[in-house]
Amino acid sequence: MSFQGNVAEFLASLERWVNLQKLVLENFKETASKVSESDRLDIIIHTRIAFNHMIRTLKAFDDWLQDPFIATNIPKNVLLDVWSTTLKIFEELLKLDIRHTSQVKSLIEESFKKGTINPIIAQLKDLASSRGREERGPGGPSISI
């Protein structure tokens, strides 16, 4: 394929990506108002769908920044815009993680003191943690069942 053909294909793929992202954004905006009225499982599912798309987008951005074409052709001001926005997202993600983990810790402590933790789920969590340690070796706790 010629240089012009390569550039044309690259531009077309960028256009497809932007259109996909616009569609996803539109769909999530439409869904947002419905989620607050949903049950817990539906909220978890929608959150996980959003997380998965964020992970996909972050991976694409990471790949993008490793691309020599981008590294040599994108001006510094565009890269600084990506950096400053990334920093804001990163800070918000860490704040969410700190807030959520602290809330969950407090809720579990309170439930444990009251004796209201479901013992079957607690045993499954303990089994999963033990299995995870065996698979990974000694060290960090597992946070998934």
More confident site: 4 or 44: 44
Cβ–Cβ under 8 Å, residues 62 and 40 = no
Rounded mean pLDDT, 56-84: 93
Cβ–Cβ under 8 Å, residues 145 and 128 = yes
For residue 131, what pLDDT band results from cuts at 50, 70 and 90?
low
pLDDT tens per residue across span 16-57: 999 999 999 999 999 998 998 999 999 999 999 999 999 999
pTM for the structure as a whole: 0.74
pLDDT of res. 127: 60
